Each structure stands twice: as C-alpha cells, then as structure tokens.
Copies of this chain bind each other. A is one copy, B any other.
Amino acid sequence: MNGKEERRGLAVLGSTGSIGTQALEVAAAHPDRLRVVALTAHTNVELLEEQARLHRPVLVGMVSPGAAAELRTRLAGTGIEVMAGTECLVEAAAYPLSDIVLNGVVGSAGLPPTLAALGAGKRLALANKESMVAGGELVLEALAAGGELIPVDSEHGAIFHCLRGEDLGEVETLVLTASGGPFYGRGRDELAGVTVEDALAHPTWNMGRKITIDSATLMNKGLEVIEAHYLFGMPYDAIRVVAHPQSVVHSLVEFRDGSMSAQLSLPDMRLPISLALSYPERWGPPFQRTELAALGGLTFGEIDRDAFGCLDLAYRAGREGGLATAVLNAANEVAVAAFLEGSIGFLDIERIIGDTLERYEPGRARSLDDVLRAEEWARAAAAETAGEVSGFA
C-alpha cells in the first residue's frame, strides 16, 4: 500500500460477515486498486480488530456499543477511530474518504446506509438485498439524485453483466436461477419436519445463517425477484425463477428475438464482489477458473411453488408494491429468527409471513420513517403469530 492516487477508497459494512470477509479478500488481492478506509460490524470484536490491524482503515464502527468499547481499548494507539452504535453504518457509508461502499449488512438495517451512500454520491456495491426490498422506491429516488448502484449478489450481478451493451427495451424476461437450496425436489409433506441443521446445509453456497435459511425456503429468491424489479425496472411478469441445482449459471436474460445471455462461473462470491468493485474493468487473475469439461452437467427445472410458498408470497407483495415488500421482509426476518431459535417449524416461516401480509393495510413508502413504521408493525405482528404458533407446537 503506497497511497497511489488511482486507488479507490473502500468502505465495507458488515465486514465480519460472509460477504464482508470475502470483500476484504478481494481488496487484499488488489492493493494497487483498493484502499480499505472504513469497516463496520455488529458484535464480532475479535475479527474486526484483526481486520483493522491488517487493512488499516481510518474508521471502524461497531453497532453494539459494548463491543465498540472493547474494540476501542484493543485498538488504542493505532490511530484508528472507533465509532459505536447503529449510526456508524450511515457514517461509514457517507465517509468522505470512500469511493465505493460495499453494503454487506444483514437485514433491513442495511437500508439507511444504502440511502446514505447514494446520497453521498458513492458507488454502492449492494449485497444487502433487504434494503432494496424494504425501501426499493426510496433507493431508486436516491439513485436518481446521485451515486451508482451495482448489485453484488451472483444473480443480479450476472444480469447486470448480461445487459452490458444491450438495450433494456429489447429484454423479454429476466431469468433468476435458484440452486433450490437443500430441499430442492422435496414435496411440501417432506418439508414439515426438517430441522435447523438440515436447513443450514446448503449444497452449493457457503453463506451466513439468515440467508441460508432464506435459501432453503426460497424466500431468498423471492427477495431477489423484488430486487430485480427495482434494479432493472422490469415488471414482475417478466421476471422468472428457474431451478438450477449446480449454481454455475448465475442468471440469464432472454431477449425479444429468443436469444439468451448467461453468466457462468463456479459458485464463489468473490467473483461477483470483484465484478462490482472493478466495474467497468475486470481484474485478474481469477480466484477460481471454471473448467466446463470438468462440470458434471448443468440442469434446469421448474420450482415446486406449492412446496415453496415463500416465492409466491414475494411475488404477491411485489405486485402489491408500496410498503408490502417491507412488511414481507420484516415478517420474514422475525420468522427466520424464530426458526433458528427452534421455536417454530420450517413451514411456519411461510405461514407467519402470509398471515402478516393478510393483516397488513396497504400504504406507500414516502420516507424512511414510513418504512421503519411498517417494519415495526410487521415485526410485532409476525412475533405475535410466531408466539401463537410456538405456543401450539
């Protein structure tokens, strides 16, 4: 690291999570291109200290005040500023030294820093799909005013790249591929009794716990459908999901002439992260090279929408628009947490979200406060249903 001017300042929000640690691997591989200027995490003091000592950011933040206090002690004398509390996310997102903000926060807590990064004119490398789901209209509004948004997840990253040099008006369908998660091929009856351990055993991607459960229920794909709607301005009827258990074709675009474009690579999040950070360039060498002849074969299948009801709930909320997707997302966060705690069953996740959506009264997302209020209501409603469900269990 020699302070070359062409290096771009990088802030990583959620740096101790799965996306965050891999983003730092990408940064470490390209010290001539990127300089880590800010890092934030929730509670993992140990790892954040290690990352801070390695990457020497100017600012670090911990959402948990207790963890921040401990980190401040540990980093004494390094000259690194330590911030405490949720505000650190927004602070790091708008930090003057950063050019690129990688938002790897989990859940809709990612929305305020998403808005802050765009408001400050940064490139937002967005892994936090919940911020798009909870506040898609607000994000688009912020984006229209400034900044740049490049999706980091493999599906939207693939579509983003398939659309390079293309005219959006000639796109017929966006096709999101879904690994199908650990339960692909199982019927609804077989899903009732699955355990937390079963659901955490994802066949192709190694991810955080919340997103792994979302992947098992296919809510993850539902959130991605909503994200695609906002990111690419496509109607829900033009966004399809197809099962692809090998996770090599990361998504496709179908054009009006029937031609399809696809992006392929072995499942490794460092590639979509690198693509978002390097765009419009591409950085080598690759983290992994995909040998087509060594792949066992690529298959595609229909999703069993009866078994995996979360996908249709997402389409329903998406088509309803307004705050419905924020409600969907908040109810899902509560339900997944309850499932991870062991207090509800796997299919209860879908029931709780469906019940919450039923009870919700439509409203528009005019401000961040509107979103936060809708989420608060949805969390309470979902928690209530979860309590009833677990009481009955």
Contact = CB atoms under 8 A, between A and B. Distances in A.
A38 to B, nearest CB: 25
Interface stretch (A4-12, A164-172, A340-348): A164-172
B274 A264 contact: no
A260 B257 contact: no
Interface string A292-308: 11010111111000000
Interface in A224-278: 242-244, 249, 252, 254-265, 271, 274-275, 278
B271 A258 contact: yes
A284 interface: yes
A195 interface: no
Given A255-B282, A257-B278, A274-B257, A164 B161 contact: no
Given A164-B165, A170-B281, A256-B285, A175 B292 contact: yes
Contact of A282 (B256, B280, B281): B256
A278 B166 CA distance: 13
A377 to B, nearest CB: 38
A267 to B, nearest CB: 12
A305 to B, nearest CB: 13
Copies of the polypeptide in the assembly: 2
A286 interface: yes
B301 A293 contact: yes
Contacts of A300: 292-293, 295, 297
A261 B259 contact: no
A170 B278 CA distance: 12
A262 B265 contact: no
A167 B165 CA distance: 11
Interface residues of A, number: 50
Contact of A286 (B242, B258, B286, B290): B258
Contact of A260 (B255, B265, B283, B298): B265
Nearest to A249: B262
A152 to B, nearest CB: 14
B282 A161 contact: no
A240 to B, nearest CB: 9
Interface in A134-182: 161-162, 164-167, 170, 172, 175
A283 B281 CA distance: 30
A161 B264 CA distance: 15
Contact of A298 (B162, B166, B167, B297): B297
A288 B257 CA distance: 9
A289 interface: yes
Interface of A: 161-162, 164-167, 170, 172, 175, 242-244, 249, 252, 254-265, 271, 274-275, 278, 280-290, 292-293, 295, 297-302
